[in-house]
Amino acid sequence: ACCTINQAEVLALLEAIRWVGRQVLRAENKSAVLYTDSRVALAMMADSGNHLQHIEEIRSLMSSLRDQHGWRLGIEWTRAHVGTMGNEEADRLAKEAAGEVGNQEVFGKPSKGRLKTQVRAESFMRWEQIWQETDDGNHTRSIFPTVADRMRTTMKFSWRLTMLLSGHGRLRNYLYRFNLAETDQCVCGSGDFQDWDHILYDCQLFESPRSSLERKCIVSGSDWIF
């Protein structure tokens, strides 16, 4: 279930080599050419730096058949879906087996790519769980309710944007918590806390840049959230 197409192609070559090996004692013509429509499998075989389990086993079996039993063996590429009898039959049998229920699994080792995908998915779920359960980051969570919302964001983050998203920065409501400001109220005189929500939505001192930003959003077709 976790086997990739490329792993299956290599496994098919290995099974073919094993079949050849079983003919050692009864075969008169010790010559065989195996055909595959997988260029990837051939490239993996040709790569001397590839030491995957099945690749190494194929090399070992072919070497043994040649050196100890005098076989002449080759593996060649054939084009798929052009009516080659053996290749078409192999495709038919593979599709038939894939659709059957209860087949015995002959290879269950997941690929590195599948493992990475699985680890990433599990990490993402854990991250989401922590994000929903923590008491910290309420301001950031009001902007990004879920981790998925954050991951869909393509904006370039800067230290200024990070301060806005975290609710930190040189604003009175934040500085007052550390006794770095005499009051937490905005200098605009409204009596409201001077935090980012006030600056973005209500502060009259920023009415002009707020209106300018609104016009730019309308012209560009972006949503205006204020």
pLDDT 10s digit of each residue in the chain, 226 long?
Answer: 567 788 889 999 999 999 999 987 788 888 999 999 999 999 999 999 999 889 999 999 999 999 998 999 999 999 999 999 899 999 998 888 877 776 666 666 777 777 888 899 899 999 999 999 988 888 899 889 999 988 888 878 898 889 988 889 899 999 999 999 999 999 999 999 999 989 988 999 999 998 898 888 888 887 766 5
Q: What's the CATH class of domain 5-102?
A: alpha beta
pLDDT number for residue 7: 86
Half-sphere exposure of 70 (CA within 13 A, CB side): 5
Q: Which of 38, 44, 45, 41 is nearest to 59 (CA)?
A: 45
pLDDT number for residue 108: 64
190 burial class (0-12, 13-18, 19+ CB within 10 angstroms)? Answer: middle
d(CA 86, CA 83): 9
Q: Which of 104, 147, 82, 109 is nearest to 6 (CA)?
A: 109
d(CA 197, CA 139): 9
pLDDT number for residue 23: 86
Tokens for 171, please give them. 């604003």
Are residues 34 and 75 in contact, defined by beta-carbon separation less than 8 angstroms? yes
Q: Where exactly does CATH 3.30.420.10 map onto the chain?
A: 5-102
C-alpha separations of 176 from 52, 113, 164, 168 in Å: 61, 50, 17, 12
Q: pTM for this structure?
A: 0.51
**31: enclosing H helix or E strand:** strand 31-36
d(CA 198, CA 191): 11
Site of tokens 């043994």: 64
Give 143's strand partners.
none
d(CA 22, CA 17): 9
pLDDT number for residue 105: 61
pLDDT number for residue 60: 95
How many other C-beta atoms lie within 10 A of the C-beta of residue 140?
Answer: 16
